[in-house]
Chain A
Amino acid sequence: MAKVIEGLFYSESHEYVKVEGDFAYVGITDYAQHALGNVVYVDMPEVDDEVEADEDFGAVESVKAASDLISPVSGTVVEVNEALEDKPELLNEDAFENWIMKVQLSDKSELDALMDATAYEELCNKE
């Protein structure tokens, strides 16, 4: 059973958002890393990149395929998780601990469109 954490926001494309003040950590969910299998590469944005809600901001690659990362929020990238450059498998070890980018949110109301843990768990059970 894939892990879901209370207090985070979730997108339908299986990214999570962990909000801290005006900032948010964005990554892929435990369900997503399970579905992907062994992650061998993470294509990350760069610091100062502008990301937009529902637009791709990179990709996660397993041996077999590349999956786009879709940003659940808009804002400016202030930090990326550089540990993933050399150790992409960290996403398989703990997807929630190993966020992909930290964003300065430009529109916090976008969070209202995302799911809470309960709704997301239901989505995972359906898929």
Chain B
Amino acid sequence: MEKKTCLYDKHVALGALMQPFGGFIMPIQYSNITDEHNTVRQHCGVFDVSHMGEVTVKGPDAERYVSHIFTNDVRGAEPGKIFYGMMCYENGGTVDDLLVYKMAENDFFLVINAANIDKDVEWMKSHLEGFDVEFENRSEYYGQLAVQGPEAEQVVEEVLGLECKDLVFYTTKTIDVAGETVIISRTGYTGEDGFEIYASHAFINEQWDKLMASGRCKPCGLGCRDTLRFEVGLPLYGDELSSEISPVMAGLSMFCKLDKPEFIGKEALAAQKAEGVKQKVVGIELSDRAIPRHGYKVLHEGEEIGEVTTGYHTISSDKSVCMALIDARFAKLGTELEIQIRKKTFPGVVVKKKFYDKHYKK
């Protein structure tokens, strides 16, 4: 039985198409994916992302602990800084990709994927020994909104009355509103400027109502969240990252700081980096309009060399493109290969896995 977010009734009242995702019953679209996608690229869209998991790590060894389980380097960072990175298994496979918010010295807020909450919490708990930290799974408490798009800053400031102009990209702060501490960050998963707000279910409901009543943004579903993140080459756990797909294979080495003294999976990732990987996630562009979907086979001269991880006919650039995990020997830009789509094969070429430019406010 899927869980419901704190905004479930509001999605149903808006007539959203509701489908299971990551253990939750989530809004996929309200109007249509193309329209919602364009709204985020051009104006402002709001997503209920309350399904995401939140974990807090506090205490004397919090920094040392986070550094141990996380591939990126949080050591000595300024409070308010946010890091993207992964948790890896010893063999380099990915447990999850996540955001780590440094709220204060030895006080961290970790945002993990909905589908992985149980697995991640178990994994993190199993590595607590030897660290003096207070670890708490706060996923049930927090609701989360993502306000995304070039007009997001004005909407958050003027409609919600939350001051956010001062935040630079990938930073966070807390705001006390009516006795409640709200977390706000300049982050997102769309390739556009935007903010994410974490607070109690009651607060999230109030903000949602204000946003809907304002007429200055549209509700957007997970359908366009996927097309938006895909176009700018952001990975989705389960597609481009998994226990079988390491960050190095996924082309995310820049988030794995191999110069740190240690973290779980470091040796394996360092070896992959040094020796090269057998498979890599690449971008592929087709010349036809046919759409490569997750799981479709990638071929080179008729021989199977991998499969599609995510594919769309992109909305912003009107091209059929995909990300695919393929034999690294064919991963060079410009390599010609084919994708099997139902009964036919379609020619494609390896391209950078970024099909649209990000528009972040740095």
Residues of A bordering B, CB below 8 Å: 37-38, 40-41, 43, 56, 58-59, 61-66, 85, 88
Contact = CB atoms under 8 A, between A and B. Distances in A.
Nearest to B222: A64
Given A37-B32, A38-B32, A63 B223 contact: yes
Contacts of A62: 33
Contacts of A58: 342
Contacts of B11: none
Contacts of B227: 63
Contact of A43 (B29, B33, B341): B341
A37 B313 contact: no
B289 interface: yes
A41 B33 contact: no
Given A61-B291, A63-B223, A66-B293, A40 B342 contact: no
B233 to A, nearest CB: 18
Of A38, A40, A59, A66, chain B has the most CB atoms within 10 Å of the CB of A40
Interface of B: 28-29, 32-34, 223, 227, 289-291, 293, 312-313, 315, 320, 341-342, 344
A41 B313 contact: yes
Contacts of B32: 37-38, 63
Nearest to B344: A43
User: Binding site of B, secondary structure by majority: helix, strand, loop or mixed?
Assistant: mixed
Contacts of B293: 65-66
A64 B313 CA distance: 9
Nearest to B17: A37
B291 A66 contact: yes
B141 to A, nearest CB: 31
A117 B223 CA distance: 33
A65 B310 CA distance: 11
Contacts of B289: 40-41, 85, 88
Given A63-B227, A64-B33, A64-B223, A41 B315 contact: no
Given A43-B342, A63-B312, A63-B315, A37 B29 contact: yes
Contacts of A56: 342
A65 B315 CA distance: 14
Contacts of A43: 290, 341-342, 344
A65 B226 CA distance: 12
